[in-house]
Amino acid sequence: MNELSYRRAFSLQLRKELTQLGRRYGSVLTPLLFFAVVVALFPLSTDPSPQRLATIASSAVWVAALLAAMLAQQTLFRGDFEDGSLQLMALSALPLWLQVIAKQMAHWLVSGLPLVLLSPLAAYSLNMAPQGYTTLMVSLLLGSLSLSSLGAIGAALTVSIRQGGLLFAVLVLPLMVPVLILGTQATELASKGDNAAGLLNMLVAICLLSVTLSPFATAAAIRVSLD
Amino acid sequence: MSIDSVSTLPQNTYPNVRVSATGLELWRGDRCLFNDLSFTLNLPVLHVCGANGSGKTTLLKVLCGLTITERGNVTWTHDKRILTTGEVRGQLAYTGHQEALNPALTVAENLQWGAGLYRELSNDEIQQATEEHQLDSLTSLLACSLSAGQKRRVALLRSVLSHVPVWVWDEPYANLDAAGVEWVNALIEAHVARGGCLILSAHQKPAINPEQVQTLGLTS
């Protein structure tokens, strides 16, 4: 296995995913739309005064982002499992973990990144103090990368189960909770004008750990699911 | 179609890759699919037959290494040298029940991806191969718009394009018309003539030179 075939494994999978996601924009837009709707529903379910909204803004945006990420991740391998492509990927001489990284990256580019870019708009609609926007975006950037990596493990483990949705949530939600806590707290602190560097550093650590280690766990989970 | 016309196959002959199994035992729930199954493949083609539900697909998955058995091992050899799992993966093109065609991609894109898992290949090569096998009218169609038989042909062509010595085909004749069956037989003969190996499951014995076919019957 040389450098060239590593690069080929990555580009092959990335190009395939981006092409097919580009043609299925309906399923790509669903999590984003879901995110926007959840954020828009929060003011309706509580006292809609600007002061009140500002206090819940960071948690509302983060919970909406977490749920949208889960929605996007749950079916990550479903299509490939159903049409048999996953078997082909597992049987290829190209490393499966690398193919997993490429696939995950393509999905993050179309579902995670737009969420990060949209988040200031959501925060603005909930009257969050503008000084918190940068931290919100940075924490969501780190958070969405972690969520997509953790979600991939769950998606790979539950792909062969017909009604895997509930199991996916039970498996993945506990892993996502620390990310949620750190993310909301960091945003909260920053929007009050405090320094959130400590919490962001911890998010960086979680992000690095999950992004680097999860592809191996995901690849192993795929092999188990194909058995 | 004569063997010589199949120029998309590599000109050099394939290495002599063979498989054997000893004492395979596999359970699904409380049902025993096979118990103490042993065989050695000495001929280029292994034809796995048996009634519905007798475990043909499972056996093929076991041989590929997708399914792990309770007991026994599968050994792949290349001129008496035992291959590692990683080495086997690069030598084997699998076509299962599902065709592994992404419905949102065109036939050409699917072939580019599927055969690309084995080796680098250009668009021209795919174009040339599809023309040669009379599938060029399909290349720009989305895979979701193909009929079942057309999907099968495209999936089998992917094995041809992979240029690997071992093809593992699960029910290659399913959904194919008479011309398709003939086409598959021609592919098999061309592959065998180049020293390739084929493991297939089918209900009828493939209509190729019987001296090259070893049959393994599974009982339920």
Q: Do A8 and B116 touch (CB under 8 A)?
A: yes
Kindly write down the DSSP assignment for every residue of A159-217, as one continuous string: TTSTT-HHHHHHHHHHHHHHHHHHHHHHHHHHHTT---HHHHHHHHHHHHHHHHHHHHH
d(Cα B124, Cα B205) in Å, to the nearest integer?
Answer: 35
| B26 pLDDT higher than 60 | yes
Q: What is the pLDDT of residue B112?
A: 93
Cα-only R_g, chain A: 18
pLDDT band per the 50, 70, 90 thresholds, residue B36: confident
pLDDT top residue among A86 and B208 = A86
| Structure tokens given for B194 | 């180049």
The DSSP element (H or E) to which A2 belongs, if any, is: none
pLDDT at B5: 43
How far apart, in whole angstroms, are the C-alpha atoms of residue A94 and residue B162?
13
Q: What is the pLDDT of residue A2?
A: 67
Write out chain A residues lying below 8 Å of B65, CB-based: 91
Q: What value does the mean pLDDT take over residues B148-158?
A: 94
Best of A92, A98, A226 to disrupt the B interface by mutation (most B CBs within 10 Å)?
A92
Contacts of B97 in chain A (CB under 8 A): 84
Q: What is the mean pLDDT of chain B?
A: 87
Nearest CB partner across the interface for A84, out of B67, B98, B104? B98
**ipTM (interface predicted TM):** 0.87
Task: Say which residues have a Cβ less than 8 Å from residue B42's Cβ, sequence separation at least 6.
Answer: B18, B214
Amino acid sitting at position B23: G
**In the predicted model, what is the mean pLDDT of chain A?**
92
Distance to chain B for A58, nearest Cα, Å = 37
d(CA B210, CA A58): 72
Closest Cβ–Cβ partner in B92, B99, B120 for A91: B92
Torsion on CA atoms B55, B56, B57, B63, rounded to nearest 10: 100
Q: Where are the domains of chain B?
A: 14-91+164-218
Domain ranges of chain A: 3-226
Homologous superfamily of domain range B14-91+164-218: P-loop containing nucleotide triphosphate hydrolases (3.40.50.300)
pLDDT tens digits, A100-110 = 999 999 999 99
* Residue to substitute from B85, B102, B156, interface A, most A β-carbons within 10 A: B102
pLDDT at B148: 93
What pLDDT is recorded for position B204?
85
Q: Which comes out higher in pLDDT, residue B13 or A149? A: A149
B102 neighbourhood in chain A, CB within 8 Å: 16, 20, 79-80, 83, 85
Q: Do A84 and B67 touch (CB under 8 A)?
A: no
Q: How close, in Å, is residue A156 to chain B by CA atoms?
A: 15
State whether B102 and A16 contact (CB < 8 Å): yes
* Residues of B with Cβ-Cβ distance to A15 under 8 angstroms: 113
Nearest neighbour of B90 by CB, restricted to A20, A82, A93: A93
